[in-house]
Homo-oligomer: A and B are copies of this chain.
C-alpha cells in the first residue's frame, strides 16, 4: 500500500474508470474509491463485479469528501457534470478528467469550479475497442502515456500529486498545453479513427461486395480498421465535435496527400508510390523501438513459429 489520495471519486464507469479502479487497487493508491454512473444498469453491473468500494446513486454523494475527482464521462457532458458537482467538492481537492480532447474540456469545466479546487485535466492514451464497466483491467495503463494539461498558475503540488498517481497506475506522464495536445491527438488518434470509420462504412455500403465477403476476407488489412471503428460511438462523436479545428486541419492534409497518391495510381507513377511506401516503413520501426507496440507479426495474433 502506498496511498496517494485518501478518497478518489470516479464519475462515469466505463473502460477508463474501471481500469483506473483495478490499477489503483493493484497499487493500493487510495483508501476508498467511490463511483457513480448515470445509468442504473451500469451501477448494478459495477456493484455485481465489485467495481468501486462504494457505488453511489447520486453524483453528489460520490464526490463528497473526495480528494481526487476524475470525470470519466463523454467530453460533451463534462461541463454539465462539473456544474452539478461544483458546490459539493471538498475544498483543496483536485478535479481531473480523462477526455480525449483538452481545449474544449478546459473551456467547459473550468468556469464552474470553485477557486479553492485544483483543476488538472488529463488524458491517458490507452484504451481498447471495448467499452463499459466490465471492459476495464488493471494493466491498461502500464507503459502507456498520460498527458496532463494544467492551466497556467495551477498549484504545482497538486499537479505533482496527480502525476505520482498516474505513474503508480502504470503510466508515463508528460505535460503540455491543451492546444498542442489537441493537434497531436488529431494526428495520432482522431483523424485515424475517422478514416477507419469511413472505410468501414464504405465497405458496408457496397452492394456488389456482399457483407459476408467483406467479413470473410477481412484479414487482408480491413479488419484492423474495423477494430478501430468498433470504439464507443458517443465518445467519438464528442471527440470530433470538440476537436473540430485540429481534426479538420489534419483531414485537409490527409485528402491532399491521398489525392496525390491517387493521381500516381491513375498515371501509373510507380516510383512515387514506391518512395512513399518506403518512407512510411521507418515510422513503424520508430514505434516499435519506443516500446509502443509489439514487433510480433500481425500484433502477435499469429501464435506459432515453425
Contacts and interface: CB of A to CB of B under 8 A. Distances in A.
B251 A306 contact: no
Contact of A300 (B229, B238, B250, B300): B300
Contact of A279 (B127, B201, B253, B257): B201
Given A137-B302, A230-B281, A211 B286 contact: yes
A201 B306 contact: no
Contacts of A138: 304-306
Interface string A203-217: 111101101111111
A199 interface: yes
A286 B199 contact: no
Contact of A299 (B227, B262, B273): B227
Nearest to A234: B274
Interface residues of A, number: 118
A266 B274 CA distance: 34
Contacts of A205: 253, 257
Contact of A128 (B26, B226, B297): B297
B230 A298 contact: no
Interface stretch (A39-47, A86-94, A110-118, A185-193): A185-193
Contacts of A194: 258, 261, 265
A292 B218 contact: yes
A177 interface: no
A258 B266 contact: no
A217 B188 contact: yes
B228 A221 contact: yes
B294 A301 contact: yes
Contact of A277 (B126, B183, B217, B233): B233
A101 to B, nearest CB: 12
Interface centre among A189, A280, A290, by most B CB within 10 Å? A280
Given A273-B236, A293-B218, A191 B184 contact: no
A278 B204 CA distance: 12
Given A197-B261, A215-B286, 12 more contacts: A125-B217, A129-B284, A129-B298, A137-B304, A137-B305, A184-B217, A189-B220, A192-B222, A197-B280, A229-B281, A233-B274, A299-B301
6 contacts: A189-B217, A189-B222, A195-B258, A196-B221, A211-B283, A237-B274
